[in-house]
Amino acid sequence: MTRCLAIRATIATLALGLLACAPAQAADTVDPAADKAAFQKFFTGKFPKLKLEDFVNGPYSMNEDLHRQWEEKEQFPPYEFSLEAGKEMFATPFKNGKTYADCFPNKGIGIRQNYPYFDEKEGKVVTLELALNRCREANGEAPFSYVKDDMAALTAYMAFTSRGKPMDIKIPNDPRALEAYQKGKEYFYTRRGQLNFSCATCHIQSPGERIRAEVLAPALGILNAMPIYRSEWSGMGTTSRRFTTCNSQIRGVPLNPQDDEYRNLEYYLSYVSNGLPISGPGARP
């Protein structure tokens, strides 16, 4: 029985990743809307007792005991200090008198659900982390580390102002946007590292199962909770930190934060979670 279940999971994973395996798929055959529908249907079928919006709670959505742990943790969330620091930083003027609000639509409030987006002028994906550092540099400030500390605090505050808003990632009718999306999908399903794991190995085939002490989160809604406080880190981490950590855990070579591959991956994972609410900042074991 165990072997049969494993085979079924593998078949389902392969079915979801079939298009991603094509080495040179033409842009006019890429169908993000169909991908999103299949992706969400796979997870709601795999976990029929879960409401769609519950997937954003990651491992805490997997069973009642974990959900109770999450409810208890949310009474005194470990990200609270970082959230307060981010709120203060966001409102503090740069040396030139401007603030982060001058760099973003709606003064940066309640916009997390729109990131990442595809910049048609640049021809590349722009993440919230990248946009924040570009804002800093445009105002004469040094960029922050992409993985933790100040960047995690800022994105925590911006995510908090969007809590409950549905992820709303757009893919413009631009072959370059479709290519970026497809490359992100391919990265998600490509095996790498000494363990020969892909992102899908853990987060599609095995959500709810354990690797050592960690309960694996479903890929659906996984970025809606970012940034997160992790007990393993004893602190906050951004999406960039999560990606680089995952590569290290499978004994692969992490890319540089905000490399094109990571930005495309974030674009893909965010798009297929469209409609699920922003729940960040989050906390994980």
Residue 167 CB neighbour total at 10 angstroms: 23
Asked if residue 203 belongs to a known ligand binding site, the reply is yes
Phi and psi angles of residue 147, each rounded to the nearest 5 degrees, phi first: -105, -25
Q: Which two tokens stand for residue 50?
A: 């879960």
**Residue 92, SS3?**
coil
CA terminus-to-terminus distance, the chain: 30
Among the options 38, 101, 246, 250, which is catalytic?
A: 246
Based on the residue annotation, tell me whether 21 is a catalytic residue of this protein.
no
Asked if residue 4 belongs to a known ligand binding site, the reply is no
Asked if residue 202 belongs to a known ligand binding site, the reply is yes
CA distance 198 to 218: 14
Q: Are 55 and 218 in contact (CB under 8 A)?
A: yes
- The residue ranges of DSSP E strands in the chain, in sequence order, are 117-119, 124-126, 210-211, 214-215, 228-230, 235-237, 282-284
Asked if residue 135 belongs to a known ligand binding site, the reply is yes
Annotated binding site: 103, 135, 199, 202-203, 242, 246
Annotated binding site for heme c: 103, 135, 199, 202-203, 246
Annotated binding site for substrate: 242
Active site residues: 246
